[in-house]
């Protein structure tokens, strides 16, 4: 009887220890660690804007700028959630004056961080931050209507591709980053690729987006074909 009682206690302790370890294994950093938002925060980027077309043998033209994303104010979104207004400034060279040219909104939540750009709502990050965790990051965007010109944004699987790794962006080396692989697919007539990297305590540090469409295998690029490469060069 005593031996059976001791066995029951030991078994209970082993189960408790296993459950505790399992719980600890799922502890992940808060989303805001990789997407901090406070009024006055800014990140400056180099921006390469790529336009694809076919004209006199030229298929792509790259124009380079600098942009600065400044968290301007804390606001509420259309359904009353706390949000932040972000103003984008742009200039053609490091010595040119900054000019405000767009406004975004970020909505930080406990389980996701949404980013609204040009009236399109993206789910940029989603808990839990762990390897291979995935979600439909463009699920709020209407890509299915016949008149939609956003079909290339349809059914993207955002996936945590790497967690808490060092990364080099331009001349900067960042200690702790996460990479979100968003899409990588190509056919004979089109290609879509997108990935982003976020740094702990900083936010978005790198974006590489590319979409081109030729209409047919021998055709020219459509007007919607473009690419963006964003690299952080400074932040506060």
Average pLDDT over residues 162-188: 95
**CA gyration radius for the chain?**
22
What is the rounded average pLDDT of the residues 214-222?
Answer: 69
Q: Does residue 1 form part of some domain?
A: no
In a domain, 229, yes or no: yes
CATH number at residue 112: 2.30.230
Q: Is residue 74 part of a domain?
A: yes
The whole domain housing 198 covers 29-235
- Considering the entire predicted model, what is its pTM? 0.86
Per-residue three-class SS string for the chain: CHHHHHHHHHHHHHHHHHHHHHHHHCCCCCHHHCCCCCCCCEEEEEEEEEEEEEECCEEEEEEEEEEEEEEEEEEECCCCCEEEEEEEEEECCCCCCCEEEEEEEEEECCCEEEEEECCEEEEEEECCCCCCCEEECCCCCCCCCCCCCCHHHCCCEEEEEEEEEEEEECCEEEEEEEEEEEEEEECCCEEEEEEEEEECCCEEEEEEEEEEECCCCCCCCCCCCEEEEEEEEEEC
pLDDT tens by residue, 32-78: 999 999 999 999 999 999 988 766 556 788 999 999 999 999 999 99
Q: What is the pLDDT of residues 128-171, one digit of tens each?
A: 999 999 999 999 999 988 777 899 999 999 999 999 999 999 88
Write the Ramachandran bin of 219: left for phi over 0, alpha for psi from -120 to 50, otherwise beta: beta
Tell me, yes or no, whether 149 lies in a domain.
yes
Q: Which residues share a beta bridge with 136?
A: 157
Residue 202 domain flag: yes
Residue 19, in any domain of the structure = no
Distance CA 66, CA 82 (A): 29
Let me know if residue 4 belongs to a domain. Answer: no
Q: Which residue has the tokens 């767009």?
A: 102
Structurally, how many domains does the chain consist of? 1
In a domain, 22, yes or no: no
For the ranges 80-84, 132-136, 217-221, the lowest mean pLDDT is seen at 217-221
pLDDT tops 70 at residue 217: no
Averaged pLDDT for residues 190-202: 96
Gap between the Cα atoms of 29 and 35, Å rounded: 11
Task: State yes or no: pLDDT of 20 exceeds 70.
Answer: no
């Amino acid at each position: 009887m005593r031996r059976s009682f001791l066995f029951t206690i030991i078994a209970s302790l082993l189960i408790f220890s296993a459950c505790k370890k399992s719980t600890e294994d799922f502890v992940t950093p808060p989303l805001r660690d990789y997407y901090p938002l406070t009024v006055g925060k800014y990140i400056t980027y180099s921006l390469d804007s790529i336009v694809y077309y076919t004209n006199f043998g030229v298929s792509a033209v790259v124009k380079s700028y600098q942009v600065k994303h400044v968290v301007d104010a804390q606001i509420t979104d259309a359904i009353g959630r706390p949000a932040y207004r972000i103003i984008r400034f742009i200039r053609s060279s490091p010595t040119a004056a900054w000019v405000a040219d767009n406004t975004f909104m970020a909505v930080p939540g406990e389980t996701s961080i949404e980013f609204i750009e040009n009236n399109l709502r993206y789910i940029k990050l989603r808990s839990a931050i762990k390897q291979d965790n995935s979600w439909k990051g463009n699920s709020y965007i209407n890509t299915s209507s016949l008149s939609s010109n956003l079909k290339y944004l349809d059914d993207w699987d955002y996936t945590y591709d790497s967690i808490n790794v060092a990364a080099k962006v331009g001349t900067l080396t960042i200690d702790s980053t996460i990479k979100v692989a968003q899409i990588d697919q190509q056919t004979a007539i089109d290609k879509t690729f997108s990935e982003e990297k976020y740094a702990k305590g900083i936010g978005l540090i790198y974006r590489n987006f590319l979409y081109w469409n030729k209409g047919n295998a021998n055709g020219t690029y459509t007007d919607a074909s473009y690419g963006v490469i964003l690299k952080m060069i400074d932040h506060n």
